[in-house]
Copies of this chain bind each other. A is one copy, B any other.
Amino acid sequence: MPEVAPKNNLSTNNGEQENTYCSDSNSSPNTSRSSSPPRLRPKYNRLIERINRRKYSGDQWFSLEFFPPRTNNGAMNLIQRFERMARGKPLFCDITWHPAGDPGNTEKPTSSTCISGTMVNYCGIETMLHMTCCNQSVETIKQNLQKAKDLGIRNILALRGDALSENGEWQHVDGGLNYATDLVRLIKQEHGDYFVICVAGYPTGHPECTSYEDDLIHLKEKVDAGADFIITQLFFKAETFIKFQKDCKKIGITCPIVPGILPIQAYQSLRHIVKLSKLEVPQEIIDAINPIKENDAAIRNFGIDLCVDMCKPLLKSGEVSGLHFYTLNREVATIEVLKRLGMWNEEIQRPLPWKLTANHARCKEEIRPIFWGCRPNSYVYRTSNWDEFPNGRWGNSSAASFGDLKHYHLFYLKSNSTKEHLLEMWGHEIMCEEDVWDVFYRYITCKTNKMGKQVTEIPWDDGEMSAETTLISDKLAEVNRQGVLTINSQPNVNAAPSDDPKVGWGTPNGYIFQKAYLEFFTSPENVEVLKEILKEYPLVNYHIINYTGEADYTNCDESEPVAVTWGVFPGKEVLQPTVVDPIAFKSWKDEAFALWVETWGKLYPVESQSRAVLEDIQKRYYLVNLVDNEFPKPSCLWEIVNKMLARSKSKRDLSDCESVDE
């Protein structure tokens, strides 16, 4: 009789979360085990382990190469492109080393190091940074490696780099690192197994090398020095790669070799690349491109066809499970190729309800305060000094302090929009509070403003509105119109399936729960009334606080976070990834109040009426959050807010009457 198969829907694979828990015990079924349980520890899986695992399982994967942008604006656009391309689930992305762009500078948004740090930490993509060794002191290289390590980068593509003298001849520098092999050795020597090291392979031999055979020997040296895998230079025919792979094997290169794929996207870029790489383009490709060289779309389509035709035999060869794409920072052609190969998988199954980072140090992170739900980058930035991340429950890990947020204009924290665009959305002139209310109202309703512009963002929101907000947008619109300026909210959810398109997350066959949450700025007049009304709702948790923190009302126990989102899954403990934490709220309120002026007010001149209105709101308004603990029942938060608005209005009317009477 066959054994009951251990594999079934109870898989604990957490979506794209690549990290696993391992135990010290070597346990296998059908054996008795020690009654002393092993220590469990969470483990980050190194890129080479992920590649090897796929090699054995036969699961196909791809990776994407980008080069650093020239301008800050370009960086902003590129980051958005990373996010879009991340949806197809590349195994990793890499950034080339751009010596002219101050590549080791961690303060400069366009530098190779900075952009790869953003990729891993803020875009949630496993990242590889290229690094060259020529024409640099060993000290500089060591510093660059340290900087990459500090940013959480775990993969380096070690290259020699361009060492040509002005007359085009290669220069040997005494005491420097002259070969990629030297760089591989240095990385191993300085950092052991911390970095996964990739090296370049040349399927037709390195252009500067004496022979194809000599070049293979150099490649073997790089691998022997400690390289974990190889990515190849581009090539034009599948046979080229397959022969190269065989030749590598022959001389004892056993590590994974990943073919580098260039979808031809334009005539100019092909010429440029060919010139740089000194490759010979096969005559049939030249013949095919020449007649259409002025027609970009035609070339791209030709390039896609060509690329798909080349990749198919590679994948079918059984020797290739991953493809590395030279994207040239463009997305259309690569995505199309991947789609045609059936390797682009945009299926959305969020592992957790908030945006993950790919920083290995955060692989345990399972819980965050709800406050940064719409500003995940700010949260990642402010907690980047943490040694440990809360895991399973918020508990004691909340004891680590939040880093200060002084720089509201750090490029990965600020809006993608230009100042002019922000003014068009938020108003060139703000005369009164109601003008501000109107901005919130239009943001929620997606209605155009007086300028005919849609308000697609507000300062408290990193990206677009979440899908679940649309579940309550009518109610939100109604209260925003009346000066309840909502910046975060979630509806209550009672046992929704974990694959629900709006509120789902985690593995399939789970159940998702949420307590209704509402967070808003509102006037002190409203807050006075609200405090009275809240006495009628003992099962609502609240925090009410002003700019200075001097007025601070709550019915929460400071040491008790409230879980507001949790999920029950087959074969697991209950996951509770979002909490309202009274202590974290104090850090958040500083950030939330500052945004009124830092991101919005500062768009206007210092003495302007517009700036004065925003500064007045910052100083006078309260930040309120409400949690309705009765998650199985319809949320009472709307009732509370509407009561507040009604009673506040009648108080106002009454005092108006009184002043008339006088």
Residues of A within 8 A of B (CB): 1, 3-6, 8-10, 12, 21-23, 25, 27, 29-41, 391-396, 398-402, 404, 494-495, 509, 511, 513, 528, 531-532, 534-535, 538-539, 541, 548-563, 566, 568-574, 576, 579, 583-584, 586-587, 590, 627, 629, 631-632
Pick the 9 closest A-B CB pairs, nearest first.
A32-B549, A36-B401, A570-B629, A37-B583, A8-B538, A392-B393, A9-B538, A39-B399, A4-B531
Q: Is the CB of B587 within 8 A of A398?
A: no
Q: How far is the CB of A577 from chain B (nearest CB, A)?
A: 11
Decide if the interface of chain A is mainly helix, strand, loop or mixed: loop
Cβ of B23 and Cβ of A559 under 8 Å apart? Answer: yes
State whether A509 touches B552 (Cβ < 8 A).
no
Residue pair A395, B528 in contact (C-beta under 8 Å)? no
Q: Taking CB as reference atom, which chain B residue is nearest A531?
A: B4
> A38: which B residues are within 8 A, CB to CB?
399, 583
For the complex, give the distance between the alpha carbons of A292 and B535 in Å: 59
Q: Evaluate contact between B550 and A32: CB separation under 8 angstroms.
A: yes
Residues of B within 8 A of A35 (CB): 401-402, 404, 586-587, 590
Most chain-B Cβ atoms within 10 A of its Cβ — which of A32, A34, A38, A494?
A32
Report if A396-B8 is in contact (Cβ < 8 Å); known contacts: A3-B531, A30-B551, A572-B563. no
Least CB distance, A393 to chain B, in whole angstroms: 4
Q: For A538, what are the chain B residues with a Cβ–Cβ distance below 8 Å?
A: 8-10
- The residue in A30, A513, A538, A553 that gathers the most chain B C-beta atoms within 10 A of its C-beta is A538
CA distance A562 to B12 in the complex (A): 12
User: What is the CB-to-nearest-CB distance from A14 to chain B, in angstroms, rounded to a whole number?
Assistant: 11
A648 to B: closest C-beta gap in Å: 13
What's the nearest-Cβ distance from chain B to residue A489, in Å? 19
Residues in chain B near residue A557, CB distance under 8 A: 12, 21, 571
Contacts A8-B555, A563-B574 aside, 19 further interface pairs with beta carbons under 8 A come to: A1-B531, A3-B531, A4-B534, A4-B553, A6-B554, A23-B558, A30-B553, A31-B552, A33-B586, A35-B590, A36-B402, A37-B398, A392-B395, A509-B629, A511-B632, A539-B570, A560-B571, A562-B572, A574-B576
Known contacts A399-B38, A513-B568; A532 and B574 CB within 8 A of each other = no
Supposing A563-B573, A629-B570 touch, asked if A391 and B395 sit within 8 A by C-beta, the answer is: yes
**Chain B min CB distance to A470 (Å):** 25
Q: Measured between alpha carbons, how far is A561 from B12 in the docked complex, in Å?
A: 11
Could you tell me if A560 and B12 are in contact, using CB atoms closer than 8 angstroms? yes
A394 nearest CB across to chain B (Å): 6
